[in-house]
Structure 1
Amino acid sequence: MSSVIPKIEQLSSRVIRVLGCNPSPMTLQGTNTYIVGTGRKRILIDTGNPSVPDYISNLKSTLKKFNVSIEGIVLTHYHMDHIGGIADIERDVISSGQNVPLYKFGRGIDGWESETPPNTDSKYSFVENASTINTEGATLKVYHTPGHTDDHIILQLIEENNVFSGDCVLGEGTAVFEDLYDYMKSLDFILSLKPGKIYPGHGPVLENPIEYVQYYISHRNERESQIISALKDSSGPLKSLDIVKIIYDIPEHLYGPADINVNNHLRKLLKENKVGLKEGDFWHNCQASL
């Protein structure tokens, strides 16, 4: 169990974390939002859940304490615990009449240009991969890192060589993902940046990010090897739940989440032509007879 994250904490000369005050099994102690920069106007990364008065109060008091305002909001991805607070911030935190852009990468769906933030008439300002967002004292390089979601981005804080990882890498535990094939490539990319620290979307700051991301990768590779071995050792094709029962030693009520995890791995292996899929959702090793 990690140490308790303060609701407000200055992490460096240009980074202040304000906890989203929305703890849950999925959000851990809550969503980390970050005020970034050194000037009177700064960037806010992520906004927490909607309708969380404690978060809005803490955000307002932090801005007042440092005598700063928000000049732009960056959203790491579309999940509600990251974009849900936009409307509350626009109503209760940002000065009336102030135009604050909402920076986001577009979702990989038809008509993503029409994607809009919840509960507000505002529009997103869509960013491109490898673009930059600047504020006084901070340069944020945007990198599209799909896997957790199709629109996920991380932000490299150039001045510190640190990374805001969103939900691609958490401060504790392992992250969930929509597409494991893309997710593993995103982890490799984060490693290539060689960050000094990772400021995650949930959990404490990672002071040893290289070692931690390598653990993420090795954990997934180990699970992948178990799945391939189960298929190789089987006398015939297997359903995903059959694989769960072979490689996991867990109570039956946890089979559901484990089955989702196994299916994510199988879809990645299918893309890599390491496994095959037969009619009726039966999986087989590619060396097996079809």
Structure 2
Amino acid sequence: MAAVIPAVSKLSSRIIRVLGCNPGCMTLQGTNTYLVGTGKRRILIDTGDTDVPQYINHLSSVFKHEGIDLAHILISHWHHDHIGGLNDVLELEEWTKHSQIWKFPRSEDEPSNVNIEELKDGQEFSVEGATLKVHHTPGHTTDHVVFHLLEENAVFSGDCVLGEGTAVFEDLHDYMVSLQDISNLNPDVVYPGHGNVIQNPVEKLQFYIKHRMQREQQILDVLSNNRKSSFGENDLVKMIYTDINEKLIKAAENNVSHHLKKLEKEAKVVNDNNLWQYNSTMKSI
């Protein structure tokens, strides 16, 4: 059982975690948001979900107790549990009226009544005691980024790497590349968007990469062993995910779908009206 995450935790001399208070099957104990820096002006990473008064109360209490305000608000990606609380945070005007808001752009972004600046890969943000470098890590979403805290060789991983379980993704190929890119940073610690702090990040990242490769092989094994049959994503989930929580079945089907699309690009499987078969013309896999 995962250790309980307190509403507010001081993780290091320059990091305070404020839990988003939005628990769920996809958000675990809730979305982790992070205040970074040691001086009066600090950086907030992610803003939790919309209309969660408990989170806003905890955040404002930290502002008061620490005597700080926000220089920057950095958003890891567009999902509502990471950006949904932005307007609620901005209503704390005493501490946010001089904040700049940043997010990596995506083609589907909708117009906002808030001025959001465009993050760029390799961009750096500095406040007293902390320097954050942006790394574009698409896969979970096209606009996903992680933030490398140079002073601690730590990575704020958003939803690319979680404190428990594995992540969902939009594009498997890009996701695998991003996992390797984060691993190449060789971080000493990872602060995830959900779940507890990851103290063995390189081992965890390699597990993620190996896990995805194992899932791919499981799909290929099912199709290869049943070459005269066709399967939908839901059929494959029932055969491969033998102990899955019913609430996660849809997410598992999406993951399998992404694996199949990757395999189709590699000509290892064929698709006929959303039913999948092993490509028997392949000489080997």
Secondary structure of 2:17's partner? Answer: strand
Whether 1:126 aligns to 2:125 is no
Q: Residues 21-75 of structure 1: CA distance to partner in whole angstroms, max 9, x if unpaired?
A: 1111111111111000111100000001111111111111111111111111000
Whether 1:147 aligns to 2:136 is no
User: Aligned residue for 2:276?
Assistant: 283
User: Aligned residue for 1:182?
Assistant: 174
Could you tell me whether the CA contact under 8 Å between 2:63 and 2:95 is conserved in 1?
no
Query: In structure 2, how many angstroms separate the alpha carbons of the residues matched to 1:204 and 1:266?
Result: 31
Alignment TM-score, normalising by the size of structure 1: 0.89
Query: In structure 2, how many angstroms separate the alpha carbons of the residues matched to 1:247 and 1:6?
Result: 35
Match among 122, 127, 138 for residue 135 of structure 1:
127
User: Aligned residue for 2:258?
Assistant: 264
Q: 1:89 to 1:252 in 2, by over 3 A?
A: closer
Query: In structure 1, how many angstroms separate the alpha carbons of the residues matched to 2:47 and 2:230?
Result: 43
Query: In structure 1, how many angstroms separate the alpha carbons of the residues matched to 2:129 and 2:7?
Result: 24
Query: In structure 1, how many angstroms separate the alpha carbons of the residues matched to 2:218 and 2:45?
Result: 38
Q: Which amino acid aligns with 2:242?
A: D
Give the deviation of 1:174 after TM superposition: 1.0
Q: Which amino acid aligns with 2:102?
A: Y
Query: In structure 1, how many angstroms separate the alpha carbons of the residues matched to 2:34 and 2:218?
Result: 38
- Percent of matched pairs sharing the same residue: 48
User: Mind listing any 5+ residue stretches in structure 1 that lack a counterpart?
Assistant: none
User: Aligned residue for 1:244?
Assistant: 237
Whether 1:27 aligns to 2:27 is yes
Q: 1:176 to 1:212 in 2, by over 3 A?
A: same
Whether 1:36 aligns to 2:29 is no
Could you tell me whether the CA contact under 8 Å between 2:189 and 2:198 is conserved in 1?
yes
User: Aligned residue for 2:204?
Assistant: 212
Query: In structure 1, how many angstroms separate the alpha carbons of the residues matched to 2:250 and 2:126?
Result: 44
> Structure 1 stretches (4+) deviating beyond 4 angstroms?
250-257
Query: In structure 2, how many angstroms separate the alpha carbons of the residues matched to 1:9 and 1:79?
Result: 24
Of 194-203 and 239-248, deviating more is 239-248
Query: In structure 2, how many angstroms separate the alpha carbons of the residues matched to 1:256 and 1:89?
Result: 31
Query: In structure 2, how many angstroms separate the alpha carbons of the residues matched to 1:14 and 1:251?
Result: 38
Give the deviation of 1:183 after TM superposition: 1.0
User: Aligned residue for 1:8?
Assistant: 8
Match among 190, 194, 212 for residue 202 of structure 1:
194
Q: 1:257 to 1:161 in 2, by over 3 A?
A: closer
User: Mind listing any 5+ residue stretches in structure 2 that lack a counterpart?
Assistant: none
Q: Which amino acid aligns with 1:206?
A: I
Query: 1:51-130 counterparts in 2 under 5 A?
Result: 51-91=51-91, 93-95=92-94, 98-109=97-108, 112=109, 115-117=110-112, 121-130=113-122
Match among 155, 161, 166 for residue 153 of structure 2:
161
Q: Residues 220-270 of structure 1: CA distance to partner in whole angstroms, max 9, x if unpaired?
A: 111101111222222336223443344343589676544322212111222
Query: In structure 2, how many angstroms separate the alpha carbons of the residues matched to 1:234 and 1:19?
Result: 46
Query: In structure 2, how many angstroms separate the alpha carbons of the residues matched to 1:95 and 1:42?
Result: 14
Query: In structure 2, how many angstroms separate the alpha carbons of the residues matched to 1:34 and 1:19?
Result: 8
Secondary structure of 2:60's partner? Answer: helix
Q: Which amino acid aligns with 1:204?
A: N
Query: In structure 1, how many angstroms separate the alpha carbons of the residues matched to 2:107 and 2:137?
Result: 12
Query: In structure 2, how many angstroms separate the alpha carbons of the residues matched to 1:139 and 1:251?
Result: 40
Superposition CA RMSD, Å? 2.1
Alignment TM-score, normalising by the size of structure 2: 0.91
